Structure formats: C-alpha cells, structure tokens
Amino acid sequence: MIAELSAAGIEAALVTSPGSIFYLTGFHSDPHERFMGLLINPKESTYTLFVPALDQESASEAAMVSKLVAISDTDNAYELLGKEADISAAAIGIEKRHLNVATYEQLAGVFPKAAFRDVEPLLMRLRLRKSAEEIELVRAAVVIAEKVLQEAAAKAAVGVSELELNAEIEYRLRVLGGDKPAFETSVLGGARSALPHGRSGEYRLKENDFLLIDMGVYKGGYCSDITRTFVIGEGTAEQARIYDAVLAANRQGIAAAEAGRTLAAVDRAAREAITSRGYGEYFTHRVGHGFGIDIHELPSVHGSNESLIETGLLFTVEPGVYVPGVGGVRIEDDIYIVDDGKPQVLTSFPKELQHL
C-alpha cells in the first residue's frame, strides 16, 4: 500500500471502510456512528489507527499498526486526526464512497490545503486477487454454510414459515462455528421466491411451493455466499422447466469462467442458456459479484464488463429466473480461478432439484 500511494503522489491516505481497514491491519469493527480510520503516511511508512475508545483493547490485540489512537465519546476525532497528520499535505487519499458530506467537510477543515483523491480503486485492486490463505478462510465459511443449508432443507415442510427457517439458519450457523451471517439471510417461499432481494416474512410453505434460500457465513474475516432452490412436494412441470433453465445457466456460466476470457462472457453464457429456453425477460440482474472480506466486492460479473478474468479472482455465479405469480429459482456457487486458469467451484451442495 505504501508503494502504491507513493507512486501515485499521495502524501497521506485516510482509509475509513471497515473492510479495507481489516485487510490492511487485521482489525475488524463496525464503529456505527463513531469515527474509525487508518491514517497512512507513505513518506514515513507508518500506519496510525484511530478507533473508538471502547474498541481500544480489541484493536491493541489484533491491529498490526505503528500507532493506535483511542477516541473517547467526548473527544473531537478530527482534532486528534489533525495532531497526527501532516496538515500541510497537498494530496490526501480518501475512500469517497465511504464518506458522507459531513465527514468530508470535517476533513477539509483538517487538511485546508489538500486536494482529495479517491484511493478506493487502488484498495480494490489490492484486494481483488485472493491469496491461498484468504481462500482457506473462505472455504471454512463455505463448509459451515453448506452444513446449515442441509439442516434447513431437512426442516422445510408444509406449514413452516420463512421466518422460522430463517431463525433456524442463523442460530445453527453460530452453533457450527460461524461468526455471524455474511448478510441478511433470505428465505422465500411460493410466489415470493420471485423477489430477487426479498426479505423473509410470515408466509408459510405450501405444497408445490418453490423454496429459495440465499445465505452466507462470516468466518475469520471472510464470507461465503450460496443460494439453492427447492420444491415442496412433487412440484409442477413449469417449475421443472424453470429450474432446468437456471441449472443450465449456472453450469454454462461456470464453464465460461476461465482466465483470459472476459467477465462479460460469463454473464453472456449464463444468460444465453436462460434466454434460449424462453425465460430471458425474467433474468433481471448480473450473473455474479466478487466477495471476500465484504459480501460485495470486485469484480462485477455483468454483460458490459470486458475486463479479463485472471488467476486469483473469487466471485459468484448466480443466475436466476423470477416469474411473478409463479416463483423464482436462483442457483449460486462460489468460484475461484486457480493457477492453471480454470474455475474451481468452492461450493459443493447438490444442484439437482430436490423435492422436500
């Protein structure tokens, strides 16, 4: 990070996103409304971490930094920042998407001579290719998620509500060693499964319902992300056709995910499988996204992203078909591009349609 900042002519950088602070220091916390930031001085090769005082002990144990500054609830965080930083710096790096207007104005007061430059693209490039150590943490999160998903499928039955299954999933993932859900678990039944980002509710499963479960586990600082769709009972011929279209799309998308090809090719391959089966208008989102420390990272796998796939990339392939009034199917796997350029599927939960 120091070398990249120096090469870009940035005299200091303030990193404020919890994910990037964790990546650079090993310390993770959600400061909520309080200030947390990592001040990087390329010239002196120093990292100064500012944390709320209530995180001081945890940060002192986990953070690999040059200096730790604790901020009490009565302190002015920006005054403390000004004491540690070179306020005459002309070029300050910030993560623009992670700052609100109020914080930006406070920083402008601390660094009155500075031009602020966005270093988020630099950070995302550093985080883009995952190391072997990072992938092992992701694998651990995948193992827990798949155990929980299997248990949830075993409990799904006519009369069980979405919220009941959701609660069981989030309880069991902690019992099995997960730190927390990677995101808000989504359990959707019947026609509600056609809501791509629907929230679990009081709906109770009925015979011939689709059941879509989208879940992930956060373990050791890294996420997993998996979706599977089931049918309660025998199901219908239309449900089978929808499921077969999505399964073909999932497989074709994964097959296209090779180093040297474009990310757009992955989306196009998956989308063609669905469109050719007559469901193209019901596939309403990109085919995948990167993940790791955060549940949504680069790369964004969509039809306009002509960036080349390279080794070390980690992303989902998750095509879906969502037919209003009928239901939806999504099948999501976690893909890692290994050293020979081929896609390695980290998720192993069965993809053939299961009747519960």
Give the DSSP per-residue string, 242-263.
Answer: HHHHHHHHHHHHHHT--TTSBH
Q: In CATH, what number is assigned to the domain containing residue 71? A: 3.40.350.10
For tokens 């790791």, name the residue: 292
Give the bridge partners for 210, in sequence order: 231
- pLDDT, one tens digit per residue, over 288-338 is 999 999 999 999 999 999 999 999 999 999 999 999 999 999 999 999 999
* Helical spans, DSSP H, in the chain: 2-7, 18-25, 56-62, 77-84, 101-110, 120-128, 132-155, 162-175, 237-255, 263-275
Q: Are residues 261 and 155 in the same domain?
A: yes
Q: Are residues 89 and 175 in the same domain?
A: no
Give the per-residue pLDDT at 7: 86
Q: Are residues 122 and 160 in the same domain?
A: no
Residue 86 pLDDT greater than 90, yes or no: no
Q: Which has more pLDDT, 88 or 176? A: 176
Backbone angles phi, psi at 68, to 5 degrees: -120, 130
Q: Are residues 110 and 180 in the same domain?
A: no
Q: Are residues 117 and 134 in the same domain?
A: no
Query: Rounded to an integer, what distance in angstroms lies between the CA atom of residue 345 and that of residue 316?
Result: 9
Residue 353: inside a domain = no
Residue 87 pLDDT greater than 80, yes or no: no
Helix (H) or strand (E) holding 15: strand 12-15
Q: What is the mean pLDDT of the chain?
A: 96
* Peptide linkage before 299 cis (omega within 30 of 0): yes
Running DSSP on this structure, what letter comes out for residue 198?
-
Residue 277 pLDDT greater than 90, yes or no: yes
Residue 171: CA atoms inside 13 Å, Cβ hemisphere, count? 8
**Residue 267 banded pLDDT, cuts 50, 70, 90:** very high
Three-state DSSP at 276 gives coil
Note down the domain range covering 205: 129-345
- pLDDT, one tens digit per residue, over 104-120 is 999 999 888 889 999 99
As for how many domains the chain has, the answer is 2
Give the per-residue pLDDT at 1: 84
Predicted TM-score (pTM) of the model is 0.94
Residue 93 pLDDT greater than 80, yes or no: yes
Residue 90 pLDDT greater than 90, yes or no: no
66, 93, 127 - which closes a domain: 127
Running DSSP on this structure, what letter comes out for residue 114?
P
Query: What integer is the mean pLDDT of 19-25?
Result: 97
